[in-house]
Amino acid sequence: MKGSPVRELVCVLLIFAALAVPLVSLTNREPNPVVHLGHRHVRGGNASNIVAWATLHFAHSPVHVYIHQSDRETWHLDPKGETEFEEEVTLGIHDGFIELIVHVEWPPDTPESVVELTLEPDGLPAQSASAWGRAKLDTVMVFDW
């Protein structure tokens, strides 16, 4: 004996309605604010400074390295043949983002090379960004927590 098609349709629609109510409440929520305990930054428009351990790696030794954040120079290096640098720096963070302007110059006969910048802020996971260039590189590296 077969069931009524209308009854089966009503049962399927009731099941979908029962599942839809919790899904709608889950997907329409406002995101909870995120608070990072390692520093004073609170997501939602506040800006602050954080201390981070910065590491620069180069495939080929550069001639000049300048790293800026907005109007202030964050890091200026005179490499002297080195390909790795580490230093503790204070950076401004706004809405969970750090944006750094990186200027690197290599000797003219250097093949295409890469620079990798790793930031390890107190209380936050490390993040890396890299860029390729030949002779001169001007790029923006963005870090998001």
For 36-67, the pLDDT digits (tens) are 333 333 334 556 888 889 999 999 999 989 88
Q: Which whole number is the average pLDDT over 132-137?
A: 91
Q: Is the pLDDT of residue 144 over 50?
A: yes
Distance CA 90, CA 99 (A): 13
* Ordered DSSP codes for 87-100: EEEEEEEETTEEEE
Backbone Cα Rg of the chain: 25
Q: Is the pLDDT of residue 129 over 70?
A: yes
Record: fold of 48-144: Lipoxygenase-1 (2.60.60)
Q: Which residue has the higher pLDDT, 48 or 32?
A: 48
Q: What is the mean pLDDT of the chain?
A: 81
What residues contact residue 17 under an 8 Å CB cut-off, 6+ apart?
none
